[in-house]
Structure 1
């Protein structure tokens, strides 16, 4: 994969990038990544390779999806949170494996699997609070803080065991771990829509709606589903609405741009070919700097010869005043070499 650290950070999420952020409650989270999961995936050849930057609690992994497309991913841990950014060589497809599963074990009771908004779990069902004020506060946090796609589903009637299964399990792999499903009981419809009013969205009775933020030029109606049958059948209209929403260009949330920049500019898990390319670029930069130094030396020599000729001519003419100082000399050879190496350092 071509590494392009000089590409400017975008303001919207590029089509090649997949991002997620969550909370972990496990003090041994790094051990889970290091020993339990990444190593096993490498042994099973699910991923090509991984490495840990232990001083920064950063993990890098690379793998291939269809047609040999390479994916590079970086997961950074803090005391309670993790940020995962993956970038592919082509625009991301939702049926590709979720990058989450390349780092974390996908256990049903995983302690790492929690949205940044405490208490919400992607891929599961989150029951709305009974208190309408609590519901509104939670929605505010979802809209402002979460990187996940939030869907509110209203149960027209109390579903049976089949209807209580998460709808996320029916989503494409690349969406399943980025969607939080909020369930409203039959009697909560009025309170839920009161809480949603400030976001200019409403959930239909027995239907669903995707929470904002919405890109400019789009309305909530485009991502509203009139009926969701909670009978175990595939909710095609809801899957379509979520997929269309996820595919829209979205402004990068707080912290997202920094994570993307870190992936692109601090990536260290190079293949042999990439390492050789990097060394060739280094040699080219040295050659350029040495060539500049040689040209600088020649310029100094020419300038000195011209100055001596001018001084001799002036003395022969019997002039009493010294000539005007020559134009500023070019940078020294050492400066030329240093500048060349600094350019390579910034690029690599």
Structure 2
């Protein structure tokens, strides 16, 4: 049941219906204005929230299941699925905003939300904020009387803050000297910056949040001795999983075809502080570095190709495969230390989802 996408999607429809009802019940608006709002968000929500692999959401259900050590009751499944969908809602909020910041064209094989007809960039920014607010509307609706309500709220608040710090490190890691796009300061592309960005922008919301929500829902208190140890071990594994996942993402951005990846990779054009460019800068000679100086961060197809050829010359893809096997081994070692043993199954599940993924 925990990985049944059809059952999970049925919960999404219930949440969507409730949220649209909230809009229709807003006081002081004419029936015509409400009709327009419902029409707009009846398109926005299914376009931006479902449609991905849903691993983050399904992980919450899997986590509750392994912590309970049995099949979930109907109510437990519904609660876990609702929490899982709130992680997917958080993802939607981040992606709608991130696509605008990166001037991306496609997401999940279709135009980014802000690129849609009749959706302006200004509307999309507001839509991202509404998607975030809907998380708290839903949590209040279903968990206000639950003993873990405050813990669940705090996990979303803390994770959102950390992810936004990571986004700042990422966007501020496009280091144009004195604000001039013509002069790219490559000295700020370091693995130190990269690791800080990954930890905060990816690891917490993509891995740790789902595991921590399962712990909180099942009554594990972060301040108790047992709870503190469980949350810490979960965080240790998730930080490593997140770094591995993001480095995979960077490699796929450069090497995977768009029809497989589901989006057009633009890290080179956007001058992203990616693992590939950070590793390249550690390895290049002066002539090779000049290729990056001349072409990294420019929207020029020929220049992008020259950067990719440099990556090939430096054998960065081969280096990644070595790194991948090393990370798999380290993750297995960390997972083996987790108690209770049943909880290990959750992290084995997560590692299995990303090991050697192709998109």
- Higher percent of residues as strand: 1
- Higher percent of residues as helix: 2
- Same structural fold, with TM-score higher than 0.5 when normalized by the shorter chain: no
TM-score scaled to structure 1, two decimals?
0.26
